[in-house]
């Protein structure tokens, strides 16, 4: 009964639009949050079920069934959902056949080393393998260690006091290895998080805390757990990990679905980024609600009051989608406030017109206003005149800060050879599947246009393939830049722009004063036009003057490895990504 929600569902009509709210009371304080119709129906059913159980319990008490009550009290000695013994073994055994993420060894090392006075924090977005990692650690324990292990599942009704009482009982029974999941659901977690390190870890317990609320853990590290915790983020999942763990050998599959792990490795995350609806749900639950939880519960919410306003106005998903869809990923105020424009579509228009074998102006004849309307509908993005709140620069800064904390975004420097003092950045996303899903929504909108209904299926296929190939190419650039940066923290990774043309990636070794220059192509074909900037004498002289000797000129693409007569290396991009991090 305690796991079921209390409270009720209310409805308000604001400016002609109906909003549903879930309201409840905890420790004498009243709380409220907006809910969608589907969630409201589920909550109603659960609330009714709780009320029925309360009535039954009341009847039993009135009937003086003391024997049952005594047994209930004896069996339920814990305040939280605690798994030990056989229930824990069953819980852990379900992942026995799964391959392990690379970060598994980090958790294992903490569990069995001599570190005391510290807790281990495992945090990241939904479906990135947190609970699976914990289960794998427990499953692979020796029996002598397993018998001293416990898994505690926190729900929103639990408090730090509940956990404290349970840990005291468990400590008295000799339990040493404690795994606490979704610990940030407790409203008082930040204020009292030092309890875990200063009291129980200091006395010999090995405590692993896990959860999806990244901001909550960052706050606790900064305040209560300062210098007393080890943080490990699960959100970033590189291509090599997909390949090794899930057997995903195609970079295109990673582009389409990358960003989450699966439970079984089969149809690993089609359910997340496979459709518009599932992608929207992921954005809402993994990102927007994550932000909302921080806004609502923490004393630091003043730092995010503007985002809370966006959430209350039902525009948080709107702003996040605008940022994700924007082709250049530049978090500038004009991107957020101008009338929505599809950069994917604009680039596709130019590319189809300039196709060397089959140029066509078919995209120029598309009903653009209707297309944009369909695209807006597909992405559920409000246009500027429909916004109920002005998107200000402070919103942009707060969103960027939070996306950084979530490990969703990373800044890649964009250097201009003409103005080296001009600091610009390309903001890349660590979950390519999220972006690609929105690009597919664009294609579906195109297919709804009247112009496309009157052309042949072959032409429709060629045009849509051209659009998606361009999108994949841009996402591939982001993947290579991000993974190269994370695999080479001691080197500078950036894009280098010239008056005409650019190097898609430069890897600069400042210690040895040398560099490597790259072009990144989604193509399987080889053409001198792909690398003519790499062999441009003036560009290379400027680069060597600024960054030292050029060790190699490389085109990363999807074909076979070879070297051109110009000395340019063509390297398979999948092989390149698989080798990253191995040195």
Read off the pLDDT of residues 383-418 as tens digits, 9 standing for 90 and up.
Answer: 455 555 677 788 878 888 888 888 888 999 999 999
Identify the pLDDT of residue 66: 41
Residues 478 and 510 in one domain: no
Q: Side by side, which strands form the sheet with 229-233? A: 81-83, 149-153, 177-181, 206-211, 119-123, 229-233
Residues 71 and 82 in one domain: no
Closest CA to 239 of 495, 431, 516, 490: 431
Rounded alpha-carbon distances, angstroms, from residue 203 to 83, 87, 171, 198: 22, 26, 9, 8
Residues 43 and 125 in one domain: no
Residues 312 and 198 in one domain: no
Note down the domain range covering 528: 488-579
Residues 161 and 32 in one domain: no
Low-confidence stretches of the chain (pLDDT < 70) are 1-3, 14-16, 26-31, 38, 56-76, 222-223, 226, 262-271, 276, 280, 284, 294-305, 321-348, 362-363, 365-389, 438, 442, 444-452, 583
Residue 425 lies in a domain: no
Cβ proximity of 444 and 371 under 8 Å: no
Residues 90 and 206 in one domain: yes
Residues 6+ apart with CB under 8 A from 233: 123, 124, 214, 407
Identify the pLDDT of residue 69: 37
Residues 477 and 532 in one domain: no
Cβ proximity of 322 and 399 under 8 Å: no
**How is residue 127 written in tokens?**
């479906």
Residue 402 lies in a domain: yes
Residues 539 and 435 in one domain: no
**What crossing angle do the helices spanning 316-325 and 305-312 adopt, rounded to 10°?**
100
Identify the pLDDT of residue 339: 44
Residues 209 and 166 in one domain: yes
Read off the pLDDT of residues 12-64 as tens digits, 9 standing for 90 and up.
Answer: 776 667 778 778 776 556 667 777 776 777 778 778 777 777 776 666 555 54
Helix (H) or strand (E) holding 440: helix 432-447
Read off the pLDDT of residues 468-523 as tens digits, 9 standing for 90 and up.
Answer: 787 888 889 999 999 999 999 999 999 999 999 999 999 999 999 999 999 999 99
**Domain final residue pick, 219, 234, 249:** 234
Residue 423 lies in a domain: no
Residues 83 and 210 in one domain: yes
Identify the pLDDT of residue 228: 86
Residue 421 lies in a domain: no
3-class DSSP assignment, residue 577: helix
As for how many domains the chain has, the answer is: 4
Chain centre distance of CA 146: 32
Identify the pLDDT of residue 580: 93
Residue 105 lies in a domain: yes
**Domain final residue pick, 59, 75, 91:** 75
Identify the pLDDT of residue 472: 86
Identify the pLDDT of residue 67: 39
Residue 313 lies in a domain: yes
Residues 6+ apart with CB under 8 A from 496: 415, 417, 502, 503, 506, 517, 543
CATH number of the domain that residue 172 is part of: 3.40.50.300
Identify the pLDDT of residue 447: 67
Residue 391 lies in a domain: yes
**Domain final residue pick, 482, 500, 515:** 482
Identify the pLDDT of residue 409: 87
Residues 446 and 547 in one domain: no
Read off the pLDDT of residues 139-156 as tens digits, 9 standing for 90 and up.
Answer: 999 999 999 999 999 998
Identify the pLDDT of residue 261: 82
**How is residue 358 written in tokens?**
């089959």
Residues 470 and 454 in one domain: yes
Residue 424 lies in a domain: no
């Amino acid at each position: 009964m305690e796991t079921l929600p209390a409270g009720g569902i209310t409805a308000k009509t604001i400016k002609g639009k109906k909003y549903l709210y879930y309201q409840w009371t905890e420790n004498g304080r009243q709380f409220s949050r907006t809910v969608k119709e589907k969630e409201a129906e589920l909550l109603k059913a659960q609330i009714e079920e709780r009320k029925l159980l309360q009535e039954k319990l009341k009847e039993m008490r009135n009937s003086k069934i003391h024997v049952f009550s005594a047994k209930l009290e004896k069996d339920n000695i814990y305040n939280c959902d605690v798994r030990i013994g056989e229930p824990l073994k069953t819980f852990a055994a379900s992942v026995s056949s799964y391959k392990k993420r690379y970060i598994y060894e980090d958790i294992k090392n903490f569990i069995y080393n001599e570190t005391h006075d510290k807790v281990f924090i495992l945090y990241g977005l939904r479906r990135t393998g947190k609970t699976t990692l914990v289960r794998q650690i427990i499953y692979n324990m020796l029996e002598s260690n397993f018998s001293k292990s416990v898994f505690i599942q926190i729900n929103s009704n639990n408090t730090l006091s509940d956990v404290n009482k349970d840990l005291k009982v468990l400590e008295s029974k000799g339990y040493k290895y404690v795994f606490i999941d979704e610990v940030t659901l407790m409203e008082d977690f930040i204020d009292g998080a030092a309890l875990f390190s200063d009291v129980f870890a200091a006395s010999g317990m090995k405590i692993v805390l896990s959860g999806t609320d990244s901001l909550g853990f960052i706050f606790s590290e900064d305040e209560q757990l300062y210098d007393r915790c080890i943080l490990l983020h699960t959100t970033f999942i590189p291509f090599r990990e997909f390949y090794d763990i899930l057997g995903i050998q195609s970079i295109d599959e990673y582009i389409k679905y990358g960003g989450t792990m699966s439970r079984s490795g089969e149809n690993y995350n089609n359910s997340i980024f496979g459709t518009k609806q599932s992608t929207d749900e992921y954005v809402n639950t993994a990102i927007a609600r994550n932000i909302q939880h921080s806004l609502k519960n923490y004393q630091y919410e003043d730092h995010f009051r503007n985002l809370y306003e966006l959430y209350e106005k039902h525009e948080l998903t709107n702003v996040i989608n605008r940022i994700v869809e924007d082709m250049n990923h530049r978090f500038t105020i004009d991107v957020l406030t101008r009338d929505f424009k599809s950069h994917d579509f604009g680039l596709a228009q130019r590319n189809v017109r300039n196709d060397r074998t089959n140029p066509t102006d078919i995209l120029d004849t598309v009903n653009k206003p209707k297309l944009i309307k369909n695209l807006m509908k597909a992405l559920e993005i409000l246009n500027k005149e429909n916004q109920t709140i002005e998107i200000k620069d402070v919103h942009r800064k707060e969103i960027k800060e939070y996306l950084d904390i979530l490990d969703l975004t990373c800044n890649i420097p964009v250097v201009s050879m003409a103005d080296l003092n001009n600091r610009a950045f390309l903001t890349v996303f660590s979950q390519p599947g999220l972006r690609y899903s929105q690009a597919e929504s664009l294609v579906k909108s195109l297919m709804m246009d009247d112009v496309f209904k009157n052309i042949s299926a072959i032409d429709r296929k060629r045009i849509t393939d051209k659009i998606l190939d361009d999108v994949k190419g841009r996402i591939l650039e982001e993947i290579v830049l991000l993974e190269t940066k994370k695999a080479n923290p001691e080197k500078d990774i950036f894009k280098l722009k010239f008056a005409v043309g650019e190097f898609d990636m430069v890897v600069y070794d400042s210690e040895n004063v040398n560099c490597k220059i790259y072009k990144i192509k989604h193509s399987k074909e080889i053409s001198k036009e792909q690398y003519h900037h790499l062999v441009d004498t003036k560009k290379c002289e400027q680069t060597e003057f600024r960054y030292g000797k050029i060790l190699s000129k490389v085109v990363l693409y999807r074909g076979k490895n070879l070297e051109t007569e110009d000395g340019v290396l063509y390297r398979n991009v999948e092989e390149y990504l698989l080798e990253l991090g191995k040195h």
